[in-house]
Structure 1
Amino acid sequence: MRTIILITTILFLASCGNTPKTVTTEGTPATTETLAAKPEAPKGKIDPVCEMPYDKAWTEQTIYNGDTISFCSETCKKAFLGRPTKYIKHS
């Protein structure tokens, strides 16, 4: 009797996890362009030096030509103040 229980248990454990896994995807598959696309920040809502999207936690700001410009760090602010024309994009 022990032999039957032992064999049954071994067969049961061996069969666990052997079911084929089916993968279903809904909708359209992601393409390389979809994965590579970054959401664009509204105009003027990026750090002009490192081009990070604006975050409400930023505390570094300066006024340049009447516009308030926000920076992600003091380092970016110093770089901008050193050469503002390098970082201002002319439309």
Structure 2
Amino acid sequence: MSVRIRLARHGRRKQPVYRIVVADSRSPRNGRFLEVIGSYNPQNNDEVRLDSGKLDAWVEKGAQPSETVHRLIRKISRPQS
């Protein structure tokens, strides 16, 4: 089973809010997931909330972040100037 860390879309039409989830790579975007590890709100100044402990645990187990999630992780780990 290949596990990915990716975004699952929620929210209303034209007002997306995303959950950062750990899911099997074969499941649909908003389908079954293993765990929610954070959220991303592009409407609210690109607000990202992420449980770094859960993220590290899943990466240790072999979960691969998607390109978008990888970009968000780099963005929040960079020191704010």
Same fold flag (TM > 0.5)? no
Structure number with the higher strand fraction is: 2
Q: Which has the larger radius of gyration?
A: 1
TM-score (norm 2): 0.25
TM-score (norm 1): 0.23
Higher relative contact order (CA 8 A, sep 6+): 2
